[in-house]
Structure 1
Amino acid sequence: MIRISIDAMGGDHGPSTTLPGLARVAERRPDARFLIYGREDEVRPVLAKLPKLEAVSEFHHCEISVRMDDKPSQALRQGRWKSSMWKAIEAVKNGDADVCISAGNTGALMAMSKFCLRTMASIERPAIAAIWPTVRGESVVLDVGATIGADAHQLIDFAILGSAMARALFDIERPSVGLLNVGVEEVKGQEEVKEAGRILREVGLKSIDYHGFVEGDDLGKGTVDVVVTEGFAGNIALKTAEGTAKQIAQYLREAMSRSFLSKMGYVLAKGAFDFLREKMDVRKINGGVFLGLNGIVVKSHGGTDDEGFAAAVELGYDMAKGKLRERIEAELQQFHGRLRPRAKDDDVTVAAGK
């Protein structure tokens, strides 16, 4: 049984979206159980209309909810102990839930998650990992916004975190990992990226198939299972991809309505267009996983609908089912164990932040 704690008040639409999304998950994942946190006057009326969800859920009233425009420091100061967001995270800390899901304020969710769960002992900063659709299937990309700027040690941490997630999600024994760069040549790029690549090559982790540097077009190609970058570039790449998908969809709608013949063509090729629409549906890949914490937290897009929220919940379900936290801890231990025999190699130990 996978226990999932939910901040029902998060997102642009609150319980009117989060609870129908949970109802979808309850039907598709019969071994899931839900701890729902929110305001009783808003949650109870919606939950009463979803008897199957209500039967596998436990509701907890919370006095306040974090607003989407709250500053992280303000939300942390005012929302601790009482807000639905804090209570959902705290359920993971206390062992009452295996994973927490929220569509609320990203900054507040990260601040509360770090304060409540703390980062793992050897992790300096957490990362947000996203699922990226590719021509070969899916990849993990991180960081997409949690850490702006990263040194070599942090990039290596991200590689370990991302590979553990890929193993849990895709059932790949040795995921391929690439560092996002301005070229594939070893002499190109920022010093931090080049140093991280050198250490990954020299340490030779058994759990990671280090590919080398990858470029922006490799994201869509699916060249590697895990793409590692710092949060500034990762967030821009994510938003660019989302915008491009919407742009192409708009172009197609305009093209199909230009004339009678184009409308007839759409009718004849409807099956192909439905397949394309399914592939480009951003709701299917909704959810960013906070990695590097002592617990699993998933951030859903605030403006998504119930199907999109269900996708984020199911992502969290899969992470818990795949024992993501345990995998990360094991791989971090392996990495630091590989460094110890090289203690006399000042270059490697210093570059790794030791």
Structure 2
Amino acid sequence: MKKILVTGGLGFIGSHTVVELLNANFDVVIIDDLSNSKIEVLDSIQEITGKKPDFFNIDLRVKEKVNHFFSENHIDGIIHFAAFKAVGESVQKPLDYYENNIGSLVYLLQEMRDRKLDNFIFSSSCTVYGQADELPITENAPIKPAESPYGNTKQIGEEIIKDTCKANGLNAIALRYFNPIGAHDTAKIGELPLGVPQNLIPYVTQTAAGIREQLSIFGDDYDTPDGTAIRDYIHVVDLAKAHIAALQRLIEKKNDTNFEFFNVGTGKGSSVLEIVKAFENTTQQNLNYKIVGRREGDVTAAYADTTIANEQLGWKTEKTLEEALLSAWKWQEKQ
């Protein structure tokens, strides 16, 4: 049984991926510093799968702790989620983002190099494309100057991995996510931001639940049909399954080069107002929202061309936008 390390494995995408790994009969070890997650998620994972992964509370910015972990544990592959991830916050706190997102990546890769470990999957982002010239966005789209420090950490992260693959023979895949939403069908795990949500859907669900007074929609003057920004919203379970497909590709040595990257989205863009209306229709909840000024770092529109991931990973999305929104609401209702 292959043992896979999942960093940030108690977070939103990480926890769903851990569930899919366990369902696919991988042995899983989680590292998480609980800075934006809760230890109770570990019990929820066990409730869903009947298996409890090993857990280590480690801050990956502390090189000595990373080194000690690898000296005590043999790992067959790593899926690296652990990172700060809010675009707006990264503009306010750039140094925190560079220290956390770049430093932890470097320390992991150094351990892989020194111990001759292989199979690395990186949690990247469509933010690496910036505001693309053409939609949908293909993997051939140019990497533009990042719109935010968060986006820049993903660009730099990919460059670091690519250089490491070239120099040290590591095999790695970067998955460029679009916008993950939703929750597990059991409503036992979902998106649980600590403090004020930085992403749209948890703010939507918390507003519907009365936790937030009002949803702010950032800008209605974008060059889109209804003036609000367009994104590609993918169900988190579909996204989690893409990681399993990528991992199998590396383990079975089916990769064409030792650094590959794939867009992971639905291929369909939805505006913020379309999301609001779809949520209201699906859940029968009315949302109190207002239009406010644009947010620094946001692009006008981004949605994926997923052809390469569909063909080479043998993966495609299965769940609808409505299913994702309903699962997010059911998760919110359980909180």
TM-score range, shorter chain: 0.3 to 0.5
User: Larger Cα Rg: Structure 1 or Structure 2?
Assistant: 1
Task: Report the TM-score when normalising by structure 2.
Answer: 0.35
Point out the structure with the larger helix share.
1
